[in-house]
Amino acid sequence: MNLSEGILTLRPLEAKLTHDTEILGAMSPYITIMFNKQKFKTKVHASGGKTPKWSDEFVMEITDHSEEATLRVWDEDLTTSDHVGFCKIKMSSLMINMGVEDWFTILFDNKPAGQVLLKSTFEPKGGDQYQAMQDAL
């Protein structure tokens, strides 16, 4: 089995945000993840405020565990989206022990802007589930 290649399933579960872009009302946060020229986007948690939750699931093929993904949190407004914060995530940190559930700190203007809870499941190339997942992609 190749532990540096495989299929990674990533689920952003919730966030604890300290950077609020709204003066009135609650933020409507969503997450984008850029990885290998692919863009993944969660549903918007309308009026999720500083403690949004999501149930989206993204499946990505990992060919090199040293690659990075960029996670950004946004607040959707009527016409635009405000940037809440971002972080870079090494794919290897999501592949430990075949998957993790961990908080990742996001930054805005080089200052902490909150945390996002990510849950990952990693199926290495050559594993039983890998071929089934590969066929489904």
2-136: in CATH 1.10.580.10: no
% of the chain at pLDDT higher than 90:
82
Q: Give the residue carrying structure tokens 């996002």.
A: 116
Closest CA relative to residue 85, chosen from 52, 110, 67, 122:
110
Residue among 125, 135, 116 nearest 7 (CA): 125
pLDDT score for 137: 65
Tell me how far apart the alpha carbons of residues 38 and 18 are, in angstroms, rounded to a whole number: 28
pLDDT digits (tens, 9 = 90+) for 63-102: 998 999 999 999 999 899 999 999 999 999 999 999 999 9
Answering whether pTM is above 0.85, one says yes
CB 76 within 8 A of CB 44: yes
Q: Where are the domains of the chain?
A: 2-136
